[in-house]
């Protein structure tokens, strides 16, 4: 199935605005992140498990157990602080 990825803030600077990827049917957000990490390079660096990365599925905050569907939009972004 195809999923559209969007990157924001520092992730966008490192990876670009986004991309469309193929992932196995029934995959979760966590499995998608693992697939991106497996690419190595910049993806592995900025999406590393030790880094705080938030995600949204179809414009709603989601955790890594969220199930993906064909045509879903996934956004990755760093945590935001304000003051």
Q: Does 11 fall in a domain?
A: yes
Question: Which contacts qualify for 41-46: CB closer than 8 Å, 24 or more apart?
Answer: 42/14, 42/15, 43/15, 45/14, 46/10, 46/11, 46/14, 46/15
DSSP 28: B
- pLDDT of 16-57, one tens digit each? 999 999 999 999 999 999 999 999 999 999 999 999 999 999
- The pLDDT value given to residue 29: 97
Q: Does 82 fall in a domain?
A: no
* Domain count within the chain: 1
For residue 21, give the 3-state DSSP assignment: strand
- The pLDDT value given to residue 81: 54
- Report the CATH number at residue 13: 3.10.20.30
- The pLDDT value given to residue 49: 93
Q: Does 83 fall in a domain?
A: no
For residue 10, give the 3-state DSSP assignment: helix
Q: Does 26 fall in a domain?
A: yes
* Residue 52 domain boundaries: 2-77
pTM of full prediction above 0.95: no
- pLDDT of 56-80, one tens digit each? 999 999 999 999 999 999 999 998 7
């Amino acid at each position: 199935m195809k999923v559209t990825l969007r990157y924001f803030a520092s992730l966008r600077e490192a990876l670009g605005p986004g991309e469309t990827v193929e992932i196995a049917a029934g995959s979760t957000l966590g499995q998608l992140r693992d697939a991106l990490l497996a690419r190595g390079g910049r993806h592995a660096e900025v999406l590393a498990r030790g880094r705080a990365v938030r995600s949204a599925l179809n414009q709603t905050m989601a955790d890594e157990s969220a199930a993906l569907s064909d045509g879903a939009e996934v956004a990755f972004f760093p945590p935001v602080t304000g003051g």
